[in-house]
A and B are shown apart, each in its own frame.
Chain A
Amino acid sequence: MIRKVQMAVIGGGPAGLSAAVAAASQGVTVEIFDDNFIPGGQLIKQTHKFFGAKQHLCGTRGMDIAQILLDRCTQHNVIINQQATVTGVYANTLGVLYPDKFEEVEFKSLVVATGASENMIRFVNNELPGIYGAGAIQTLMNVFGIRPAQNVLMVGSGNIGLIVSYQLKQAEVEVECIVEALPQVGGYQVHASKIQRMGIPILTNHTIIRAEGNEQEGVTGAIISEIDKDFRPVPGTEKYLSVDTICLAVGLTPLADLLEQCGCKMTTISELGGRVAVHNHYMQTSRPDVFLAGDVSGIEEAVTATLEGQLAGLAAAKYMNIGNPLIIQNKMNEILIQLNEFRDGPFGEKATYGSQRLLKEYSYE
């Protein structure tokens, strides 16, 4: 038998939880499907305080934001299904795989908030155990309290690379150095300065070309090299580092495959991280019953994910004619202003450019 829900949300991170709360507050019955066994998405590993204005829960640590959003879900009777992997979308039905069963769930509206996956770069032996995505390192340290390494090579000096380097030091792990392929540091200067004050060198125009290791221990070292302006290694500049772990912080790609399967119109925008579903201001895709929010709509961060989630949840309620349309419209207008204010700050330039390109494509329809 097919179970029926008014609104299904795929993903229990900042965007999905916010969408669920926003819709439920208008009287929509909502169920979230999340593949992990702990809800909160990437928030639960974020020990740093967020930038921005107080109204966006800034100044609060990510992991505390997760708890605030989960409490709001409970208040609004949002059902959160854990270890519930959505394996496909078939017309108006989700296929959901649990550890012990498979079920079909029919929805009137759907919010896809699947987030993003960590990028991988090409170098010799790049799949050796001991090479982790930055998110994995954060999970081990900040969620489970496990020291994942003795000494680390960090690849990538974007904000994630810088923040995770700092968090590694907090867990008393040595960071040998950070290599950055571009001629300048990718993340904010405030983070970079903090890292340099800790004595961690940031080598620009450098990359990893080889991981060393064996079948018993995994990674035992790394070879880095200077690269020229065309990103080719400069012979003779190779350097061996004795590290037991390599952390890759080289960007994220939206997890948009379920949206593609929904039949949503897709496009590729590099500023947003790759393939994304075309959508309007209210996070509605080309399929009117399907909405999206968070990193899946373009790589940004948790504050914009929560705002986009609220928009998607409200827009889905409006689409289903649930709640007061005037109140919903006013709320959506307010959130849009907040979103634009946040992106107008020093942090949103790239995302603003990306989403403008996307809206242009939407308006061509």
Chain B
Amino acid sequence: MRIKKHPILEFPVKKKIEFYFEDKKLEARDGESIAAALIANNIRIFRFSEKKQRPRGLYCAVGKCASCLMEVDGKPNIMTCITPVKQGMKVKRQKGRGDLI
């Protein structure tokens, strides 16, 4: 969900772009992180842990905790909180350590 009105902040309308989450087309705004774009689309399960396949999502949002790692354009372990979302990007939930090949 996006904030429509705010007492002190203005969010100028930014260019809309499209990206894919688990092969589904979603809308994002130019200049935001992948994690922000997903949460704006009400998605907060980003990956499943290695040993017990427990769900994980965004935690620190500053590239320090590794909770938000996802597979982006085929590459695993991308910190989605400090990586900008791009037009046509393919984002997938990561399972365990992700596939390096």
Contact = CB atoms under 8 A, between A and B. Distances in A.
Interface of A: 35-37, 42, 47, 61, 83, 85, 99, 115, 117-118, 127-133, 135-136, 139-148, 170-172, 215-216, 218, 255
B32 interface: yes
Contacts of B33: 37, 144
A145 B39 contact: no
B72 to A, nearest CB: 10
A83 B79 CA distance: 11
A145 B2 contact: yes
Given A117-B60, A129-B46, A136-B60, A35 B82 contact: yes
A135 B62 contact: yes
11 contacts: A36-B62, A36-B63, A118-B65, A131-B59, A132-B61, A136-B59, A139-B62, A144-B32, A147-B3, A171-B6, A218-B55
Interface of B: 1-3, 6-9, 11, 29, 32-33, 36, 39-40, 44-46, 49, 54-65, 67, 81-84
B84 A129 contact: no
Most A CB contacts (10 A, CB to CB) among B32, B49, B59 go to B59
Given A35-B63, A135-B61, A218-B44, A129 B1 contact: no
Contacts of B46: 129
B51 to A, nearest CB: 12
Given A36-B82, A37-B33, A139-B62, A146 B54 contact: no
**Secondary structure call for the B interface:** loop
A145 B5 CA distance: 9
In the A-B complex, the 5 residue pairs with the closest CB atoms: A129-B57, A136-B61, A145-B11, A144-B36, A117-B64
Contacts of A140: 36, 39, 61
A151 to B, nearest CB: 13
A146 B57 contact: no
Given A127-B56, A128-B55, A170-B7, A133 B61 contact: yes
Given A47-B8, A144-B33, A146-B36, A132 B3 contact: no
Contacts of A115: 62
Nearest to B75: A99
A171 B8 CA distance: 10
Contacts of B58: 129, 132, 136
A77 B6 CA distance: 35
A128 B58 CA distance: 9
Nearest to A61: B8
A229 to B, nearest CB: 30
A117 B82 CA distance: 15
A255 B56 CA distance: 23
B2 A146 contact: yes
Given A36-B82, A37-B33, 19 more contacts: A35-B63, A35-B82, A36-B62, A37-B82, A115-B62, A118-B65, A127-B59, A130-B44, A130-B57, A135-B62, A136-B59, A140-B39, A144-B29, A146-B3, A146-B39, A171-B6, A172-B3, A215-B54, A215-B55
